Each structure stands twice: as structure tokens, then as C-alpha cells.
């Protein structure tokens, strides 16, 4: 029998996260205070995040210890198995080996609890009683709901309205874990009321939901805001995925030629690739590829610029690939990829040409996802299907070039709560969507006068 899975023993779980900021080949542009134009300091962020997480956000230590209390919770589903997708390999008939980390085995079904658990832990340790957050697909909201329950924190989730309506089961999961889930835009915040006054039928967006969650957290001194992607400390927590993968592949004597992941705010992709980015910076020949939707092509069509992280312009200016903070992506089913910006770390690495970005249409991603389910059994989250489409494309290229390749990717979550999206695809209701250039240019006018990185 050929080996399909590589496991790590619980005693082999990585005990430190990896911080890429210690190895960046060139300095990153700092976040700026929109009022003064000066770099933001830890005190500027204190109303939004607890100081222990702010310290991680700005840390340049290469390795940060994972607290015992967090490791204890991680062991509920970690280390996650590394799989070899042998059936897909046979189907594609290309000279490739395909390995993937199965992050769908966590209780909420994705990589998101890798950061939800430490974020809840650090907030609790800082004396915070309630967390407020946004969610797109509902994966992040459900992960934080579970983590808050583990550390006895209250949790309020602003869920992008289109997903709230498409995905009632995610809302039920959040409620089961004790959270309060509200469709966004809502009339609970000034940011939400303003959007509803302009468009009562707004489908919402991650940018709008972030504005609501920040406003809600800042108004209550016992509450803080929690973000499921984009920020340095979130990417840091996700590196456990890539660190485990490295140990697992070492066990079978394999090193990847290509590392891939889908990208919404950049966290699962960064999680699997940053330990390999470190190798690349130190001379390894390896391709690192991010997959995004053509309907929200932040890295492939958006400039690298200073912009706000949210629609209501409450965050600092962040240097990142962006489509403009008031860009509202089409309501595609991969709700977690509908974000106008991108993690500054991922954006910087794209700018430095260490990472490459490719965009995929939703029909192409669902075709790849269905092909995957029929070959490998597991039904992927619509976001994850973007990574699978990238893998299929890479395999086809290897075949055309006659080159052998080892591909590693992050299977970021299962799609068992996203079956309505599969229904829409299988019944022919999904359409191709190419974002018109005029819409990008319109949205980018909002950031024309901002400082340049
Ligand atoms: C399963 C899954 N994959 C990927 C993403 C995209 O987020 P990120 O780029 O932060 O990993 C999401 C976001 O909701 C998700 O739920």
C-alpha cells in the first residue's frame, strides 16, 4: 500500500510560532496614523487590541513561544494530518506529487481557530471580558465563538449580510458556541447606519463589517476587537501550519517545489508559506503562489498603496495591495475572499517578487472543487477551491513543460456548511464574473490623495 497520510505525534507539535519580520529582506512601510501621517505606536492601537497582542504585532523576534494554555487547546485538533492527494494525481495524469495540510479537521472546520484560540487567550489574560469581530463566510466568526467559549469571554460577531442569508448554519454554530451574531450592515453602529441610508439592500462586505466591529469594541472599555486575518500577529499564529508541514515532509524526505494557498486577507496562505519564504530568502529555489478570485483581484490588479483596512476609515493607513476601501466585491460564494485589501506582509512579499499571485474565476474554482471531491472525497470550502484551482493549473503546466514537481498546499477548510454554493454551481446558476476596469479605477480614486509607501 502507498502511504497517504503523514502524522505528527502530539509531542511533536511546534512549541513556537515563526515571525517573518525577523527575516524580511527589505524594510516594510509602517502603518501610519491617518491624522498625523506618522507611524502608529502601540498606544494608538490600545483601544482596539490588548497590549500583549500589540507587542506581538510589532515584534521582530524570530521565534515566539506558544503558551501552554494555547497548546492544550490546539491539541483538540492539532497536529493536523498532511495528506498526499494520490487520487487527484492519477486523475490529472501529470508529473506531480500533491501534498496538502488538512485544516478542515478543526471543530469549526478551518484554519481560523489557529489564531482565534491565542487571541481569546491573550485578551482574557489582559482582563478583557468581550470580543467583537466581523465574519465573511462565517468560518472566522464560528472559530472565535468557540475560542471565546473556551476562555469564558463574551463574543459579538458582525456577519456580512449576504453570507448571513446564504449560510444560516454558520450562524447556528456561532450561537451554539454562545456568541451573538448580527447581520452587517446593521443599525447598531453609526458605520452600519450610514451604509444602510445609502443602500438599504447593501449585501455588506468585510470592510463594512470590520468598521462595525471596531466601532462596537472601542465604545466599551471591557471589550476589544479581534481580526481573523491580515494583521502580523494573525499570520504569526498561522505559521504553525507550515511548521508542522515542514516536519511532516521531512519525515518522508520530501521538499516542495511549489507552495500554494488561497488568499482573502492572507492568513492561511501565510500560515503554510512563511516558513518556506524563510528558506527562499536564504537561497532555496521554490515558487510560492497565492490564489485569489477574479472578482476581488487585490494582488493581481490592485496597486501597492496606503489604504484603510475598513470601509469607514477607522483603521491606520496600511501599506498593502488594495482595490480601495470602499470597493464592494460582487457577492460570490467564497465570502472569505471578498476583502478589498491584503495582509501587509503578503503584499510586501508580492512587491518584492518573492511571492506570485494568480486570479481564478468562481466557475473554474468550483469545477476544480467538484473534481477534487470526486477524486479525494473531501468537500472543500469555496475559498479553498481557489487553492485547488491553482494546484490543477500548476499540474497542467508541469505536464506541458514535462517537468516533475512537488506541490504543497493548504486545504484551509471543508465546505459542509457551504453546500448551497455547490447547489448553485451544479444547477448552472453561477456565472463568470470579470471585474470591469472602470470599477477598479472608480474605487481607487478614493485613495488617490493618500501618502505613498
Ligand atoms: C476556509 C477558508 N479559507 C480561506 C479563507 C480566507 O482567509 P485568509 O486569507 O485569511 O486565510 C477563509 C476566510 O474566511 C476561509 O473561511
Alpha-carbon distance 218 to 405, whole Å? 49
Angstrom distance (rounded) from CA 195 to CA 205: 11
**Half-sphere exposure for 345 (CA within 13 Å, toward CB):** 30
Residue 257: Cβ within 10 Å count: 18
**Beta-strand relationship, 96-102 and 130-135:** unpaired
Asked if residues 213 and 158 have their Cβ atoms less than 8 Å apart, the reply is yes
Atom of ligand 1 nearest to the CA of 230: 10
What pLDDT is stored for residue 338 in this prediction? 85
Query: Could you tell me the three cell numbers for 377?
Result: 472525497
232-251 vs 267-281: helix crossing angle, rounded to 10: 60
Number of Cβ atoms within 10 Å of the Cβ of 452:
9
Angle between helices 419-426 and 362-376 (to 10 degrees): 110
Q: Give the separation between CA 397 and CA 401, rounded to whole angstroms.
A: 6
Cell numbers placing 343: 495582509
Angstrom distances, CA of residue 403 to CA of 221, 255, 390, 396, 398:
58, 16, 17, 10, 5
Q: CATH number of the domain at 68-109+239-435, please?
A: 3.40.50.1100
CB 317 within 8 A of CB 308: yes
Domain boundaries, the chain: 68-109+239-435
Over the stretch 47-104, which tens digit does the pLDDT of each residue have?
Answer: 999 999 999 999 999 999 999 999 999 999 999 999 999 999 999 999 999 999 999 9
Could you tell me if 343 and 229 are in contact, meaning their C-beta atoms sit under 8 angstroms apart?
A: yes
Q: How far is the CA of 2 from the centre of ligand 1 (A)?
A: 31
Quick one: pLDDT at residue 166? 79
- Point out the ligand 1 atom lying closest to the alpha carbon of residue 381: 1
Nearest CA to ligand 1 atom 7: 264
User: What percentage of the chain reaches a pLDDT higher than 90?
Assistant: 93
- CA atoms of 120 and 114, how far apart (whole Å): 11
CA–CA separation, 173 vs 216, rounded Å? 22
* C-alpha cell of residue 258: 511549489
Among 22, 26, 103, residue whose Cα is nearest residue 347: 26
Q: Is the CB of 239 under 6 A from ligand 1?
A: no
Crossing angle (nearest 10°) for helices 113-125 and 51-58: 130
Kindly give the distance from the C-alpha atom of residue 130 to the centroid of ligand 1, in angstroms, as a whole number: 23
- For cell 448571513, name the residue: 164
End-to-end CA distance of the chain: 54
**pLDDT of 206:** 85
pLDDT for 333 equals 82
Q: How far is the CA of 310 from the centre of ligand 1 (A)?
A: 17
Ramachandran area for residue 231 (φ above 0: left; ψ -120 to 50: alpha; else beta): beta
The answer to whether the CB of 131 is under 6 A from ligand 1 is no
> Dihedrals φ, ψ of 98, to 5°?
-120, 120
Nearest CA to ligand 1 atom 6: 264
CB of 227 closer than 6 angstroms to any ligand 1 atom: no
Question: In whole angstroms, what is the distance from residue 252 CA to residue 246 CA?
Answer: 10
Residue numbers in the chain where pLDDT is lower than 70: none
pTM: 0.97
Residue keyed to cell 500548476: 394
Q: Which atom of ligand 1 is nearest to the CA of 139?
A: 16
112 Cα: distance to centroid of ligand 1 (angstroms): 7
pLDDT tens for each residue of 245-267: 999 999 999 999 999 999 999 99
Q: Tell me, using a 6 A CB cutoff, whether residue 137 lines ligand 1.
A: yes
- Residue with the smallest CA separation from ligand 1 atom 12 is 336
Q: For residues 218 and 204, give the distance between their C-alpha atoms in angstroms, rounded to a whole number.
A: 21
Cα–Cα distances in angstroms (integers) from residue 102 to residues 292, 326, 380, 391, in the given order: 20, 34, 10, 15
**Backbone angles phi and psi of 435, in degrees to 5:** -70, 120
Q: What is the DSSP string of 217-247?
A: HHT-TTEEE--SSSSHHHHHHHHHHHHHHHH
Using only C-alpha atoms, the chain has a radius of gyration, in whole angstroms, of 20
Task: Match 477524486 to its residue by C-alpha cell.
Answer: 375
Amino acid at each position: 500500500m502507498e502511504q497517504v497520510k503523514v502524522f505528527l505525534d502530539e509531542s511533536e507539535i511546534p512549541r513556537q510560532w515563526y515571525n517573518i519580520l525577523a527575516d524580511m529582506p527589505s524594510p516594510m512601510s509602517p502603518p501610519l496614523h491617518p491624522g498625523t501621517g506618522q507611524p502608529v505606536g502601540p498606544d494608538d492601537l490600545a483601544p482596539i487590541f490588548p497590549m500583549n497582542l500589540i507587542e506581538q504585532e510589532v515584534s521582530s523576534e524570530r521565534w515566539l513561544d506558544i503558551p501552554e494554555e494555547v497548546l492544550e487547546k490546539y491539541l483538540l485538533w492539532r497536529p493536523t494530518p498532511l495528506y498526499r492527494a494520490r487520487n487527484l494525481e492519477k486523475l490529472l495524469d501529470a508529473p506531480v506529487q500533491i501534498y496538502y495540510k488538512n485544516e478542515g479537521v478543526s471543530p469549526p472546520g478551518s484554519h481560523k481557530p489557529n489564531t482565534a484560540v491565542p487571541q481569546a487567550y491573550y485578551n482574557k489574560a489582559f482582563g478583557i471580558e468581550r470580543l467583537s469581530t466581523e465574519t465573511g463566510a462565517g468560518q472566522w466568526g464560528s472559530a472565535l465563538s468557540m475560542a471565546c467559549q473556551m476562555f469564558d469571554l463574551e463574543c459579538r460577531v458582525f456577519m456580512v449580510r449576504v453570507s448571513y442569508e446564504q449560510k444560516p448554519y454558520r450562524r447556528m454554530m456561532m450561537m451554539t458556541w454562545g456568541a451573538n451574531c448580527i447581520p452587517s450592515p446593521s443599525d447598531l453602529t453609526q458605520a452600519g447606519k450610514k451604509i444602510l441610508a445609502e443602500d438599504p439592500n447593501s449585501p455588506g462586505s468585510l470592510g463594512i463589517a470590520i468598521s462595525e466591529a471596531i466601532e462596537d469594541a472601542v465604545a466599551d472599555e471591557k471589550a476589544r476587537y479581534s481580526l481573523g486575518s491580515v494583521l502580523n500577529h494573525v499570520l504569526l499564529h498561522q505559521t504553525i501550519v507550515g511548521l508542522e508541514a515542514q516536519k511532516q515532509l521531512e519525515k518522508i524526505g520530501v521538499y516542495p517545489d511549489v507552495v500554494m494557498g488561497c488568499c482573502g486577507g492572507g492568513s492561511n496562505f501565510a500560515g503554510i508559506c512563511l516558513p518556506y519564504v524563510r528558506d527562499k530568502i536564504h537561497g532555496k529555489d521554490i515558487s510560492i503562489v497565492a490564489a485569489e478570485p477574479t472578482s476581488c483581484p487585490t494582488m493581481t490588479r490592485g496597486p501597492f498603496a496606503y489604504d484603510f483596512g475598513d470601509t469607514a476609515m477607522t483603521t491606520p493607513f496600511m501599506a498593502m495591495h488594495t482595490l480601495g476601501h470602499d470597493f464592494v466585491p460582487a457577492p460570490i460564494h467564497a465570502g472569505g475572499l471578498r476583502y478589498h485589501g491584503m495582509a501587509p506582509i503578503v503584499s510586501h512579499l508580492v512587491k518584492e517578487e518573492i511571492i506570485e499571485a494568480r486570479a481564478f474565476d468562481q466557475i473554474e474554482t468550483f469545477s476544480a472543487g467538484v473534481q477534487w471531491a470526486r477524486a479525494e472525497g473531501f468537500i472543500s470550502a469555496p475559498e479553498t477551491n481557489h487553492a485547488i484551482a491553482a494546484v490543477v493549473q500548476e499540474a497542467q503546466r508541469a505536464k506541458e513543460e514535462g517537468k516533475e514537481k512537488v506541490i504543497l498546499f493548504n486545504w484551509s477548510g471543508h465546505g459542509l456548511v457551504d453546500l448551497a454554493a455547490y447547489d448553485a454551481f451544479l444547477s448552472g446558476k453561477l456565472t463568470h464574473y470579470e471585474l470591469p476596469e472602470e470599477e477598479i479605477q472608480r474605487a481607487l480614486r478614493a485613495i488617490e490623495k493618500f501618502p505613498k509607501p
